[in-house]
Structure 1
Amino acid sequence: MQAPFTQDQQLPAALTAVDGQTVSTFSNPDYPGYSARVKQLRDFCDNQSRSYSGYIDLEARHLFFYFFESRSLPEEDPVLLWLTGGPGCSSSLSAFMEMGPCNIHDAKGPAYNSYSWNTKTNLIFLDQPIGTGFSYAEHGEQVTRTEDGAEDIVNFVSMFFETFSQFKGRPFHIAGSSYGGRYIPVYASAIYDANRLAAAQGRTPINLQSILLGNGITDSSSMASTYYDMSCTNASLPPALPISTCVRMKQALPRCRTWIKAACDDHFDDISCNAAHQFCRDKLEAPFIGTGRNIYDMSQPCNGTIAETICYPLTKEISKWLDRSDVRDVLGVSEYPYNFTMCSPKVFSRFRSTLDMHRGSKTYVSELLERGIRVLVYVGNYDWTCNWLGNLAWTNTLQWAQGEEFAAKQLGEWTVDGHRAGLTKTAGSLTFATVDQAGHMASSSSSRRR
C-alpha cells in the first residue's frame, strides 16, 4: 500500500490555504460571477491521497463535487470526471457504492476501497444537474434538458481547472453510468467546442481524451426493443417469464419497433414518440418488472422498491450518513437546507416532461469519434434496464468513418488473469465490452471480486 501523502507536497499557492476546518473561496477575473468554495477532507475516509469537497458557484447555480487525488502519481495521472445518471441521482451513489476511495457497506460509514478508480487517476464526482444531491440553485433556476445542462458542465470544468491549476492540461476523461449515457456525449461535445474559444482567449484548453459510457441509456430507441430478448431468451440468463407472456411480448415487438422508428427516429413528434415509448413500456417492460426481480441485476431480487431504494436498501444508509450534522460539517455543506435525496424525483420529472430521455445522444458520439475522441461503451451483462443488447445495437449503427468496420466485427472474449471477463470488439477509437456477472453498477468493486 502506498504511504500516506505528506503535507509538504507542492500545491498551487492558492490551495495552500485550504484546510479541513474552514471553507476557502476562490474567484478568477476571467470568469466574472463564478467562484469556487473548497474544503480539504482530512481523515475523511482515505489517507492515501488528498481529497476535497466543495462547490463551483456559477452565479445562482451551485454545483457540489468531491475530488480525490490519485493514490499513485497525482502530479502525472489523468483527471476523470464521473457523472451518475437518473436523471437526478447524486454521484455520492457511485462514490460510496461503486468506484470511490471508500465504500459504505452498512450504518458504520465509509470503509477503504482498494479497487477505487483513484488508484491511477485524479477522480472528480459531480452532483448535476442542479437540484441533484447537494447541488442547488437560487431564484427557481432549473435544468430540464441535457443540452441545457451542457453549459453548466463546461463552466464547472473550466472553473475546476482554474482552482486546481496544477492539473491544467492533464489528459481529461468523462465517465458515467445509466443516464450518463445521455449526458456525457453532449457534455463532452460542448467541452470540445468550447476549447476553440479558450484557445482564442489564451486560456489552456481542456485536454479531452475519451468518454466512458457504463450501462448507459445513450439511445432509448435501440433499448426499447431489447427487453423481449433480455426477458425471454438466453441473452444473459435463462428466460425469466412464462411462455404465454413471452408470446404476447413477441407479438407486440414489431409494432414497438415500427412506431418508435417513425415517431422518434425518422421524425421526432413529441406526442407520438411519448405514446410509442409508453406502449413499449406497457408491453415489453412491465412483465419483467412485475416479477420482483432486480432490473439492475437480473440475477438478484429487488430489495425494497425501485422508487424508494432503487432495489438497494444501502442507498438509504448512505443518505442517512450524508444527513448527519458531523458529516455535513466535514463536507462543508452544513448550510444546505434540505434532507439529502439520493435520486431526486423533481429532477427526474423535469427531464421527463421535456421527453429528454427519448432524444438520444448517439449522433454526438459519432461526431466525437470523427474528431479522435476515444469512446468506451461497457455493460454488465446482468443489467436488464440498460442492457448490453441495446448498447450493442446503437454502437453497431453509428455513422462514422469506421462504422461499417465496427459493425462487421464479431464479439470476442477479453480476459483478466487468464479468466474470461466478458465480450468485446474494437474498431478505431470505439470499443464495446460486456462485463460478465456484473449488473448496472459494473464499475463497482463487487463486480471486480466476482
Structure 2
Amino acid sequence: SSDEVTFMPDLHFRLHFRHYSGYLESTNKSQLHYWFFESQGNPSTDPVVLWLTGGPGCSSLLAAMTEQGPIRIEDDETLAPNPSAWNLKTNFLYLESPAGVGFSYNANGQYKTDDKQTAELNFEALKSFFQKFPQYAKNDFYITGESYGGVYVPTLAEKCLDRKFPAPFKGFAVGNGYLDQKLLGNSWLQFVYYHGLVDTPLWEKLVEECCHDGTKLRKCDFVGSEKKSCQKLIEKIHNNFNSAPINVYNIYAVCNQSSIRRDELTPEQVARRFLVTNLLQLDADYVNQLKDSPPCLNYDSLQDYLNRKDVRHALHIRPQSLSWTPCNPNIDYTNQYKSLAKVVRKLVSSGLKGLIYNGDVDTACNYLGDEWFAEELGFKTIREFEPWLVNATGQVGGFVKIFDGFAYTTIRGSGT
C-alpha cells in the first residue's frame, strides 16, 4: 500500500483504476523502479503483463507515458488519458531495467552488466513484484517488450520457464525486436533501398560487390562480407542515411529538431550507434561521426516532468536515484546474444504462446529481418500470410502469418 500513487501532478481527469510506483529488490543490491497499473477491466482475473523497453539502456517509462500506457504526457507537461491503453484489459507492469536506467539504481554504484546478468536481474525483480502483490500470483502472466527487448524478453522468459515461476506463465510478445544481428543488418540494406532511400545505381553496385549471385538477394550476406569495396559501399549508404534528418523509428514521421538537449545522446542516436556498431560492424571512426546525427525525437516535456520534485515525490522516487533520462548511454553493457533463435525455439516448443510483431516503417529493427527470423525458426505454417482488418473501419491494419505455436504480424504504416 505504501507504493500506491494517490496523486499525480497536473493530472486533471479521474482514473478508474489504481496504480503503484516503487522499487523491486534484485541481485547485487540493484533496486529496479516499477510502475504498475491495475486493469480497467477486472483486475482480479485479467492477465498480468510485464513490459521491457530496450536500448539497451532506455527506460520503460517512455512506453508508459508516450506509447501504450494509460497516462500520456503533453508538450505543456500536463497529463492526458490514452483511450487505447493496454491496461484496458490487463494489469500492466513497467520495469526500468537494468540498474542505471531511469529511476533504477545500484546501491554499490555498479552499472556494468550483460544480457545474462540482466535476465537474472529481471527475474529476481519479478519475484519481488509478486511478493509485493501476491493477489496476482495466480493470474495468467505474459512478458512483452520492444527493440532490444528482443533480447530481454526471450532471455527472461527462458528463466521463468526453467524455474517454473510464475506458475501461470502463458507467453511472450516482441515488437520490432532485436532478434538476430545478421538478419537485421542484411535486411536493413534491402529495406532502405526498397523504401526509396538509396538510388538504383548505388544499390546495383552494392549487389555486384557484396553478393556472389545477385538473383538470390535473400541469401546475400552484405554485413558478413570481408571485401573492402563492399564495406565502403555499406558505409556510404549509412553516411547518406544518417546525414539526413530521418526518424529511424518511423521513416515517414516528422523529424522533431526543436529544443533537443544537445549535450545528451537522444534515444535515436543511441539506436543508430548501436545499429551500426553491432549489426553492421563498421569501423570506429565512422561510428564516432554518428554523435552529431540529426536528432528526431523530443522527450523534453517527459524528462522535465519526471524530474520535478513533486512528481518524484508522487512516484516514491528515492534520493539515490539519478535524474531521469530517456536513455542512459553510460551503462557499460555487453551484448552476448547475436541471435535469439535457439531461445525462442525453446519457448515455442514448450507450449508458450508467442507473438513477433513489427511496425513496417521502422528501420532500427526492421520488419523484414524479424520476418526472416520467424521463418527460419522452422515451425510449421498453419495459416499463410494474409491481411488483418481494423474492425471499426474495415481497413487493412497489417499482415499476419500463423505458425505452429506463434504468430508473426506487421502493423501497416507504424513505426516501433
Q: Same fold (TM over 0.5)?
A: yes
Unaligned runs of 5+ in 1: 1-17, 19-23, 25-37, 199-204, 263-271, 441-450
- 1:55-89 deviation line (CA, Å, top 9, x unaligned): 01236110000000001111110000000010000
Work out whether 1:298 is the aligned partner of 2:274. no
Measured in 2, the distance between the counterparts of 1:278 and 1:219 equals 20
* Higher RCO, 1 vs 2 (CA within 8 Å, ≥6 residues apart): 2
Once the two structures are TM-superposed, the CA of residue 165 in structure 1 deviates from its matched residue by: 0.8
Measured in 2, the distance between the counterparts of 1:113 and 1:78 equals 20
What corresponds to 1:317 in structure 2?
301
- 1:337-361 deviation line (CA, Å, top 9, x unaligned): 52211100012xx22xx343x6221
Paired residue for 1:249, among 206, 212, 218? 206
Measured in 2, the distance between the counterparts of 1:309 and 1:156 equals 25
Alignment of 1:137-152 (within 5 A): 137-152=106-121
Paired residue for 2:348, among 359, 369, 373? 369
Paired AA for residue 345 in structure 1: P
Paired residue for 2:266, among 286, 289, 308? 308
What corresponds to 1:55 in structure 2?
23
Work out whether 1:226 is the aligned partner of 2:210. no
Unaligned runs of 5+ in 2: 213-218, 269-294
Partners of 2:247 and 2:296 within 8 A in 1: no
Paired AA for residue 80 in structure 1: V
1:393 match: secondary structure: helix
Paired residue for 2:372, among 393, 409, 412? 393
Once the two structures are TM-superposed, the CA of residue 147 in structure 1 deviates from its matched residue by: 1.2
Work out whether 1:326 is the aligned partner of 2:310. yes
Work out whether 1:79 is the aligned partner of 2:48. yes
Measured in 2, the distance between the counterparts of 1:279 and 1:76 equals 56
Paired AA for residue 42 in structure 1: F
Paired residue for 1:425, among 396, 401, 406? 401
Paired AA for residue 180 in structure 2: D
- 1:107-150 deviation line (CA, Å, top 9, x unaligned): 23221111100000000000001111100002233342111111
What corresponds to 1:216 in structure 2?
177
Partners of 1:64 and 1:134 within 8 A in 2: yes
Partners of 1:143 and 1:149 within 8 A in 2: no
Partners of 2:46 and 2:89 within 8 A in 1: yes
1:365 match: secondary structure: helix
Partners of 2:51 and 2:60 within 8 A in 1: yes
- 1:198-257 deviation line (CA, Å, top 9, x unaligned): 6xxxxxx43211111001111111111112221111xxx4x1223333234334543895
- 1:297-332 deviation line (CA, Å, top 9, x unaligned): 111343238933635543121011101011001011
What corresponds to 1:32 in structure 2?
none
What corresponds to 2:5 in structure 1?
40
Once the two structures are TM-superposed, the CA of residue 281 in structure 1 deviates from its matched residue by: 6.3
Once the two structures are TM-superposed, the CA of residue 279 in structure 1 deviates from its matched residue by: 7.4
- 1:401-431 deviation line (CA, Å, top 9, x unaligned): xx2436xx64211111221111110022210
Paired AA for residue 321 in structure 1: Y
Once the two structures are TM-superposed, the CA of residue 176 in structure 1 deviates from its matched residue by: 0.7
Name the % identity.
29
- 1:6-62 deviation line (CA, Å, top 9, x unaligned): xxxxxxxxxxxx2xxxxx3xxxxxxxxxxxxx2434356551100000001236110
Alignment of 1:11-30 (within 5 A): 18=1, 24=2
Work out whether 1:119 is the aligned partner of 2:80. no
Partners of 1:215 and 1:387 within 8 A in 2: yes
Query: What is the root-mean-square deviation of aligned Cα atoms in Å?
Result: 2.6
Aligned positions, number: 371
Paired AA for residue 242 in structure 2: I
Alignment of 1:258-269 (within 5 A): 258=221
Once the two structures are TM-superposed, the CA of residue 282 in structure 1 deviates from its matched residue by: 2.6
Q: Which moved more, 1:64-73 or 1:97-106?
A: 97-106
Partners of 2:77 and 2:302 within 8 A in 1: no
2:59 match: secondary structure: coil
TM (normalized to structure 1)? 0.76
Partners of 2:52 and 2:146 within 8 A in 1: yes
Measured in 2, the distance between the counterparts of 1:149 and 1:252 equals 39
Measured in 1, the distance between the counterparts of 2:202 and 2:395 equals 36
What corresponds to 1:266 in structure 2?
none
Paired AA for residue 388 in structure 1: Y
CA distance 1:397–1:251, shift in 2 (3 Å): same
Measured in 2, the distance between the counterparts of 1:258 and 1:138 equals 44
Measured in 2, the distance between the counterparts of 1:410 and 1:307 equals 42
TM (normalized to structure 2)? 0.82
2:365 match: secondary structure: coil
Paired residue for 2:324, among 337, 340, 344? 340
Measured in 2, the distance between the counterparts of 1:427 and 1:252 equals 36
